[in-house]
Structure 1
Amino acid sequence: MIEIEKLCCAYEDELVLKDVDLILPENEFTVLAGPNGAGKSTLIYALLGFLKPRKGKVRIFGRPLYSYKRIELARLIAFVPQESIFQFDYPVRDIVLMGRYPYLGLTQNWMAEDYEAVDKVLQQLSLQDLAHRFYSQLSGGEKQRVLIARALAQDTHYIFLDETLSQLDINHQIDIMILLRKILAENKKGILLISHNLNLSANFADRMVFLSRGRILGSGTPEDMMKPELLKELFGIELLTMLNPLSGKPNILYPGMK
């Protein structure tokens, strides 16, 4: 379990996160949503240890975040950025193998179990046919699947994803959300996804967390959070919702011209 208590973070003199209280259990799919500049990515960077808080506490499995060495944190939390740029072009299998770096021994050589872990992930995510393709040759959706595969090969308790859906077509967005649900069911990991697609989030997530101006506006099930009054407070506009007949979850009705 990750426990966040009164967390405050800043860039120079600008306070970005303000007294954030949040618990991230294992085996739960959480979506972090909010307007641009709300502090969503900042929160993830703080939880990864990349940004030192001004005040507050972060505990991972009961231990303070900063009591962990980097290699220990890399065995607990995997991170999927919005986009990865590699200095060289690598085959898919080699990129997934990078997820095994936290387990390299003193010899700094890959072991049989590393290759076995990679092959297992490639099979689980149906990437076997792409294993020897170069990353530059993949579509946007395929690239995201490969980055998620790398995180899965890292064999952590949590996977954090920063706007993984933002540059994908709707079919690939749905594919990624289905994939994340599959990972949750089969691997029992805690998943934290930053997303602007509230309807997809409501359809697939266990919990939604709304962040506004550096503060937690609310946290709860999609049924708890996808309410017009909360959405207005979050985005400043009137938004109606109704139950999606396919998922049974509340979805936003977007206005149009009459």
Structure 2
Amino acid sequence: MLIAEGITKLYGGKKILDGIHLRLERGEFLGLLGPNGSGKSTLVKCLTGEERPDAGTIWLEGKELFSYSRKERAQKIAVLPQEGMEPVPFTVEEVVMMGRYPYQGKWSWLEAADREMVNRVLQETGIDHLSGRFVHHLSGGERQRVALAKTMAQEPELLVLDEPTTYLDIRYQCHLLELIRSWQERKQLTVLIILHDINLAAQYCDRLLLLKEGKLVQSGKPEEVIQPTVIEEVYGVKPLVIRHPQLQVPQILLPSERKSVSLFQQTKG
């Protein structure tokens, strides 16, 4: 669905992306990993048309990405930024309706089908009971669900998420990723997601790309990418890699210099 060849991007003469090649298949759930400053967000901005690369080409469904108009791209690609939904003074329903903008004609009113779509999305994301509340009165987790609902109302073919779980507790992290995975499976949606949590990436992504200093270090299935030597090369720590007892995907435990303390020693102390 999306092909990028030789993507290079410079800021102030510094090379942030260095000849990145990737292929994203329709219906795939692809995770983008790497330490801070590795170029993940810059790559996403190029792949979604927000910024032009200094070198390289991007094709979306066989057509050069920048040959699409902004509105045409919005019908194909929806982006959920790291910040999620700002605490804007609009109701939840109004914000979700904004997701229908790419399909509106010269006049801005919504058709009955648009309203039906919005109502369905509110129900699917479990926020229909919040529809009349103002977004700036909601919690961070609730606002993130509103942001996701807005992208769902957009009916994209490709959903791009930039660290969507950063400001969420573990309950909302799991809930958000389960919503995305369920939506992806029902609609054969293609998903590209930036995550810092390697364990979550292994649990939800079909394939992983690992960046370091603007270069692609490793790509493949989670078990091919999450290897102690690879993680050490990219992050500078050599983890213990184990298997998730239910999903059988690799999970990492970080090393520690501390010695284990027995329950007896804790109690005695």
- Place the TM-score, normalised by the shorter chain, in its bin: over 0.9
Shift in Å, 1:7: 0.7
**Which residue in the other structure is 2:194 paired with?**
194
CA shift in 2, pair 1:26/1:181, >3 Å: same
Equivalent residue runs for 1:47-62 within 5 Å: 47-62=47-62
Is this contact kept in 1: 2:8–2:53, CA < 8 A? yes
CA shift in 2, pair 1:187/1:82, >3 Å: same
Residue by residue, what CA displacement relative to the aligned partner does 1:94-126 show, whole Å, maximum 9, x if unpaired? 111111111111122111111111111111112
- In 1, distance between residues paired with 2:211 and 2:32? 7
How many percent identity over aligned positions?
A: 38
Alignment of 1:30 with 2:41, yes or no, is no
TM-score of the superposition, structure 2-length normalised?
Answer: 0.93
Alignment of 1:89 with 2:53, yes or no, is no
Gaps of at least 5 residues in structure 1 are none
Larger Rg: 2
Shift in Å, 1:246: 2.2
**Which residue in the other structure is 2:222 paired with?**
222
Q: Which amino acid counterpart does residue 38 of structure 1 have in structure 2?
A: S
- In 1, distance between residues paired with 2:200 and 2:50? 29
Name the Cα RMSD after superposition. Answer: 1.3
- In 2, distance between residues paired with 1:253 and 1:85? 32
TM-score of the superposition, structure 1-length normalised?
Answer: 0.96
Count of aligned pairs: 258
Alignment of 1:119 with 2:122, yes or no, is no
- In 2, distance between residues paired with 1:115 and 1:212? 44
**Which residue in the other structure is 2:108 paired with?**
108
- In 1, distance between residues paired with 2:88 and 2:239? 45
Shift in Å, 1:12: 2.6
CA shift in 2, pair 1:156/1:28, >3 Å: same
CA shift in 2, pair 1:87/1:175, >3 Å: closer
Shift in Å, 1:68: 0.7
CA shift in 2, pair 1:20/1:137, >3 Å: same
**Which residue in the other structure is 1:134 paired with?**
134
- In 2, distance between residues paired with 1:85 and 1:187? 23
- In 2, distance between residues paired with 1:50 and 1:14? 19
